[in-house]
Amino acid sequence: MIHPTAIVEEGAQIAEGVEIGPYAYVGPDVTIGSGTRIGSHARIEGWTTIGRDNRIFSHAVLGSIPQDLKYHGERTRLVIGDRNTIREFTLLNPGTEGGGGITRIGDDNLLMGYVHVAHDVQIGNHCILANAATLAGHVILGDFVVIGGMTPIHQFVRIGDHAMIAGASALSQDIPPYCLAEGNRAQVRGLNLTGLRRRFERETIDTLKRAYRTLFEGETAITDAARTLLENTDDPHVEKLCRFILESKRGIPYKRKHHVA
């Protein structure tokens, strides 16, 4: 299961059923769960923990030191969950002392070729990052987030559950859950209806549509509208949407639609 040309340093913890391909490298502080497959020439180093049944393709680099000038060799971690697919030439960095010390990737995610996940990023479950998507430090993604190809995300940006960022965008502010954003600089353009239709009933989507119109197309300031909605709804999805807006530190990028009388 471990190719004779692979280098697995003494101290690495490799579970049963792990496959390691030709010329791959696994460092001494790495832990790999059962069923994980590592392609040829992949490099896994640092204090990196990888769960079960992941597939890591050739030339991926996991756990190399952060691209942050404030990093001075402190022991920080990269933690990857279960059943993730990490494609060719991806680069995943561990955390930094100032950012909590952990970069964390959840379960069932797809990271396509040339994706970069920088220090202290937190990625939820069931996310898709298309080719060459780039996440700067401290970015937070919820669950079921889709990031289009060739899209950079500014540091400290938050993206809520079920949101989608279109390809070739450039995002520098927070995107609420359930929303679709695109452009350079990216702005909220509507709800992520394609994603919502895959996972929610029509009644839930209609409720989110009404909330979206109130928040983004009304005359009231978005934070005031969010507070009012939050006080008058018992729908958990609307509550999540409003709380995200009220808790945003980088702001929500959008423009009001101007209605012609």
What pLDDT digit, counting tens, does each position of 111-146 carry?
999 999 999 999 999 999 999 999 999 999 999 999
**Helix residue ranges per DSSP H, 134-199:** 193-199
Q: Classify strands 179-183 and 186-191 as parallel, antiparallel or unpaired.
A: antiparallel
User: Are 61 and 147 members of one domain?
Assistant: yes
CA distances to 87, 245, 248, 251 from 156, rounded to whole Å, are 25, 15, 11, 11
Residue 38 lies inside a defined structural domain of this protein: yes
Residue 260: is its pLDDT beyond 70?
Answer: no
Whether residues 19 and 114 share a domain: the answer is yes
- Residue of 137, 142, 148, 195 with catalytic role: 137
Per the residue annotation, which of 107, 120, 161, 174 is the catalytic one?
A: 120
**Cα angle 96-245-236, degrees, rounded to a multiple of 5:** 105
Is 255 part of a structural domain of the chain? no
What is the domain count for the chain?
2
Q: Are residues 33 and 104 in the same domain?
A: yes
- The answer to whether residue 119 is catalytic is yes
Same domain, 148 and 208: no
Domain assignment present for 189: no
Q: Could you tell me the residue range of the domain that residue 106 belongs to?
A: 7-156
182 bridge partner residues: 187
Alpha-carbon span 217 to 219, nearest angstrom: 7
Cα separation of 180 and 52, whole Å?
Answer: 32
Q: Is residue 170 part of a domain?
A: no
pTM of the model: 0.97
Instruction: For residue 6, give the DSSP letter.
Output: -
Q: What is the CATH number of the domain that holds 58?
A: 2.160.10.10
**137 assigned to active site:** yes
Domain end among 124, 156, 188: 156
pLDDT > 60? residue 87? yes
Shared domain check, 214 and 126? no
In a shared domain, residues 150 and 204: no
Domain annotation covers residue 2: no
Tell me, yes or no, whether 146 and 20 share the same domain.
yes
- Residue 256: pLDDT band (50, 70, 90) is confident
- Same domain as 200, residue 152: no
